[in-house]
Amino acid sequence: MKSKNITFEDKLKCKICGKEFQHLGSHIWHKHKITAREYKERFGLPYNIALISEEIYDKKVKAFDEHREKYLSNINKDNGYRFEKGKTGTRRISELERKRIIERIEKVNKRKPEKCPVCNMVFDHLDSHLYNKHKLLRIK
């Protein structure tokens, strides 16, 4: 089941810290905070080289084969979203809408903590606290 374009090794040595791992991609993300793509670019590695051992690759293939129907049924569902080349699925917004969103964020960030008149605790978002904890609405 191995891909012809991918080369494997038993353990992969990290070119940053020198330690060996079976799942190098996970290590470089969690320890060094760089992506697999950045790692490959930094050290001139080909993009088709796998950053996992052959053992891990075989486990992933086996797990996919065991749950193949579930995975494929999720992809094939007609839930109003289709995978199309070149589309990311993110919503595009106008400059005016972008400005309004930024203004709302800045307004929220400028809020000062307020003291709850019921429980005397200080909250950044007093309105949310009043509603969620005490089932009260504050009218301004």
**Model pLDDT, residue 77:** 58
Question: Nearest to residue 38, comparing CAs of 28, 48, 30?
Answer: 28
Q: Does residue 76 form part of some domain?
A: no
**How many domains would you assign to the chain?**
2
Q: Does residue 119 form part of some domain?
A: yes
**Model pLDDT, residue 88:** 61
**Model pLDDT, residue 76:** 60
**Model pLDDT, residue 86:** 60
Please tell me whether residue 131 adopts helix, strand or coil conformation: helix
**Model pLDDT, residue 3:** 46
Which residues, listed in sequence order, are joined to residue 138 by a DSSP beta bridge? none
Entry pTM: 0.44
| Mean pLDDT per 10-residue interval, the chain, length 140 residues | 53 90 90 90 85 88 86 63 59 80 82 87 85 84
**Model pLDDT, residue 9:** 61
Q: Does residue 98 form part of some domain?
A: no
Please tell me whether residue 5 adopts helix, strand or coil conformation: coil
**Model pLDDT, residue 5:** 47
Which residues constitute the domain of residue 119? 112-140
d(C-alpha 124, C-alpha 132), whole Å: 14
Q: Does residue 100 form part of some domain?
A: no
d(C-alpha 46, C-alpha 36), whole Å: 11
- Our CA dihedral for 80, 85, 86, 91, rounded to 10 degrees, sits at 10
